[in-house]
A and B are shown apart, each in its own frame.
Chain A
Amino acid sequence: MTRITIDPITRLEGHGKIEIFLNDEGDVANTYFQIPELRGFERFVVGRPIEEMALLTNRICGVCPEAHHMAAAKAADAVYKVNVPRTGKMLRELLYMAFYATDHTTHFYALAGPDFIVGPDAPVAERNILGVIHKVGLEIGGKVIQMRKYGHTVVEKIGGRKVHPCTSIPGGLTKGITEEDRKEIEDMGRWAIEFAQFSLKAFNDIVLGNKTYLDLILGDIYTHHTYYMGMVDENNKTNFYDGKVRVVGPDGKELVKYAPEEYTENITERVEPWTYLKFPYLKKVGWKGFVDGADSGVYCATPLSRLNAADGLATPRAQEEYDKMYSTLGGKPVHQRLVTHWARLIELLYAAERWVELATDTEITSPNFHAIPTEKPTEGVGIVEAPRGTLTHHYWTDERGVVTQANLIVGTTNNYAPISMSIHKAASSLIKKGTVVNEGLLNMVEMAFRAYDPCFGCATHSLPGQMPLEVTIHNSDGEIVKVMKQFVD
């Protein structure tokens, strides 16, 4: 048996490894996506005050600290049974929209960009962030940096710090914003809307206008029929900050819509002996293995899943793009995983529009951004949509508000089973007897999991940062016959 290993080792964001086992005929026998996850965080927080969770959990991950900050803050609100005043909720959501716009921008231009802007089988030396800048031009590269700067600025103005906000406390926030802040935030949001529209046009021109890419996106290699999850408001429109979690089936029909505190009735987890990370699945459907279909409890929680699970978006321009996407692709739900990149850009536009909506609300500068908790703390669940999936924080405390137990289901964990299935299908479709396994081909396998924007973050930053991809090919005796690395020595 031949063994191929894709090992995206990185100290920046946890470790992961793709292993592809070939049979004697040279076809794919099996694939494994292994994650030696950082463990112990849920024990580490025991004995600490619940109000610290919004500060501590945003150090779990260097990629989406704002999402952990919000989920933990909402869980702390629930622990104290305190209703955050409208201004407090809006300020948190405003911060969150700026974070979303920043995060989705980075993903499209720095991560998906090399695949679609430069090309999936372009030479390794060009398929990178510098190649993207070369292809799209310095002006657009500058806009990406500007978008990130604006996003960080809003997070700092409302959250007190860039990247790792610190102002959310049980009942709201520690500070509000001035009219001067508001105006600046509004102006940046209006710029973000234009940037999002520009990005969608670029996607339309570069990706959808290229038949090869379109065939790749719509082909069977990257297609799966599973359940889809996403948070929605009272009108079943996508909401990143608040609402109920809605799950629809492969046929698009609603299976369930649950409040945060009902998540244990709907989600459970499966353990496999070959990986540390658990596989969440839909309790009411049950685990049938890594398979598609309405009988399989495998669900997906991504930008595309959120759009599939919702009836639309609550802002006009984003709704227009939402309608365009589904009419172009023949209706809902869409099962082709690479369409997630398109969905992500539509979400970018929604986030920017919602950013301006919130920044222009007459109550956003109100001093009524915090309610003092008066109830005895007990237990609470907070859920937000992290950019890469539904994020659930659940804490139990004693009567002093000291954490006695914690449970976290992070965004990417939701997608562990579908990511594994996507890798298997891509590898099985692309690697056949006699196939020369080169870097371009392995990149197309890697694209299967990259569409999910997976994050196994641990926010550790020791030097040196290493490359994400190492390919090791073993012969049937297990000996290494070839090693391929993505970096330039």
Chain B
Amino acid sequence: MAPINFLVIGLGNPILGDDGVGWIIAQEVEKHICSLRNDIEFDYLSLGGLSLMERLINYKRVIITDSVTSGEIPEGSVITFTLNNMTDLSYGHTTAAHDTSLKTALMAGRKLGAPLPSDNDIQIVAIEIRKVMEIHEGLTPRISAAVPLAVKHVLENFEND
């Protein structure tokens, strides 16, 4: 069996409506690729910061599928970027009473010697959402319609690899 070097994480909360889109994207990718590749691991998480960083230990490349709330692009837009291109608004600080940002957590993890992928090897594929505080299952139509494009972006990562 090939070593597991790739990790795809569906991130979000599946009971917060569109916030759960990261899970849906990852599930679709897994359906497409599980019969073709055995060197990719999938996981579905509702975590951030330190706990998310700990999950990335020992992987060379990671793709995180998620929602994003920039408020600067139209709802349903698909964006792809690597973590090193993301501004760490909370550089060094806690983002909540119990946690910090993923970038800061990664800095701390690397400082402590944890084998973590570089920020350049952590790819984010996300869909811009608006409704993030309503408890329900399922996606709104505009977000649901954007899922195939996000899936395509994720799969492109594996085409030349």
A331 interface residue, CB < 8 Å from B? no
Residues of B within 8 A of A330 (CB): none
List chain B residues, Cβ under 8 A from A56: 15
Interface centre among A10, A38, A465, A469 (most CB of B within 10 A): A465
Any A CB within 8 A of the CB of B2:
no
Task: Tell yes or no: A468 within 8 A of B by CB.
Answer: yes
Cβ of B14 and Cβ of A461 under 8 Å apart? no
Q: Which of B88-110 contact A (CB under 8 A)?
A: 88-102, 104-105, 107-109
Residue numbers in A under 8 Å from B119 (CB-CB): none
In contact, B13 and A111 (Cβ under 8 angstroms): no
A106 is an interface residue with CB less than 8 A from chain B: yes
| Known A-B contacts A38-B133, A59-B14; A463 and B126 likewise in contact (beta carbons under 8 Å) | yes
- A152 CA to B53 CA in the complex, in Å? 13
| B12: nearest chain-A partner, CB-CB | A461
At the interface, yes or no: A198 with Cβ under 8 Å from chain B? no
Q: State whether A487 and B132 are in contact (beta carbons under 8 Å apart), knowing that A107-B98, A142-B112, A468-B95 are contacts in the complex.
A: no
- A17 and B107 alpha carbons, distance in the complex (Å): 28
Residues of A within 8 Å of B11, CB to CB, are 461
Residues of A within 8 A of B90 (CB): 465-468, 486-487
Q: Is A293's beta carbon under 8 Å from chain B?
A: no
Would you give 12 A-B contacts (Cβ < 8 Å), ordered by A? A11-B132, A13-B95, A13-B99, A40-B135, A62-B13, A62-B47, A110-B100, A129-B100, A141-B108, A148-B54, A461-B19, A462-B12
- Point out the residue from B102, B111, B136 that lies within 8 Å of A465, measured CB to CB: B102
Q: B-facing mask of A144-168, CB < 8 A → 1, else 0?
A: 0100110010000000001110000
Q: How many residues of B contact A (CB 8 A)?
A: 57
B50 contacts A by Cβ under 8 Å: yes
Given A130-B108, A145-B112, A461-B66, are A110 and B94 also a contact pair (CB < 8 Å)? Answer: yes
Give the CA-CA distance A133 to B92 in the complex, in Å. 11
Q: Say yes or no: A461 contacts B108, CB within 8 Å.
A: no
B48 in contact (CB, < 8 A):
yes
Let me know if A271 is at the binding interface, CB within 8 A.
Answer: no
The 6 closest A-B pairs by CB, nearest first: A13-B96, A128-B92, A465-B95, A467-B90, A462-B67, A465-B101
Given A111-B98, A461-B22, A461-B66, 9 more pairs with CB closer than 8 A: A62-B13, A62-B47, A114-B94, A138-B113, A142-B113, A163-B51, A462-B69, A464-B87, A465-B101
Query: How many angstroms between the C-alpha atoms of A455 and B98 in the bound complex?
Result: 8
Q: Are B92 and A129 in contact (CB under 8 A)?
A: yes
Closest-CB distance, A43 to chain B (whole angstroms): 8
